[in-house]
Structure 1
């Protein structure tokens, strides 16, 4: 109960500065989430990774949604820092309105592990699927596997390929790969990421170097992300 009140208070404080966002975010109950996912039935799992598990759910009104059970705040110990990270994720996602970005519908603060509820977009074969091999089940490993196999452009949305130059896309992908290093100390910080993105934008690409990453390191990273209970 204490955790739920803390979540609500912190979320309301953030949302109060933007009434438009406050109206967009719906707070779901834990019972609604249980019914929507058939009590988190494994058959409802869309994908799993270092950040959590995503379930396909159906709300009372019949609408289909994707429900993310985050590992960010999972565990018995109440960690205010992790709570704030979760709230910040909600705030950032609530401000995004783009045709190529899945819309955040709301969240559930009553559950032991807070949940994010997104719109569900069916697109045929799912890139993150329990039916695929272990090496490409999560979004992180799927991306790293595509980089390793030199098939990055096969997983990109056609609009992304059309709007950006090949050099820009490759440089952004290399930057993303560095951000996914399993050792947090080897990842660039947010300031460095922002600076490099600005450089890519200004130069039209060809800015970021591989920095000596070998294929074996990518293999280790894919395995680490798949076997870890949570990201570091």
Structure 2
């Protein structure tokens, strides 16, 4: 089996072309979200995905992203994490670019918020927290692409050493409400070795499973509270 960027890129490009034909109005961010959140976490034979490493190891989200692209599920993902120019401007603000620099890029007057935003709040279909000291809350917004009257509930698999809560825990969409925001709070609760630990957040309506990888690195073990 061939692997690597040069092999995956043409396959993903072909899948994206098909998705864009099905959904002409979707943005690049929505297309990416559909691929990431519906990907297989095991290979098509049902066996775990391994990373090309020496020694061989089970793949984590840093190795495989969301997993193996699943074109059929990506065509009807249920929810997408969309993003556009305003989101990328906020990202640049979070990275420390000033109004003048961003305006030069956007070719129009741009102003960053008075309070510097967090890069963790960029509306990606994944959540990475590189330096968790006690707790942090990140926000995400999802857009319903399925039936107008849809109800999704959150299923959480927290990374080791953390407790993860989602508010609201249930998202109820209707014909007027197509987008909903939620907060994900990650709290360090146990001593763990240095490094990244992985989990997932899944929004499901019983038909769709919209999975986002979680990656957390705890950098300060004091104070901690029992997870029991």
TM bracket (short chain): under 0.3
- Taking structure 1 as the reference length, the TM-score comes to 0.28
Higher strand share: 2
- Taking structure 2 as the reference length, the TM-score comes to 0.28
Higher helix share: 1
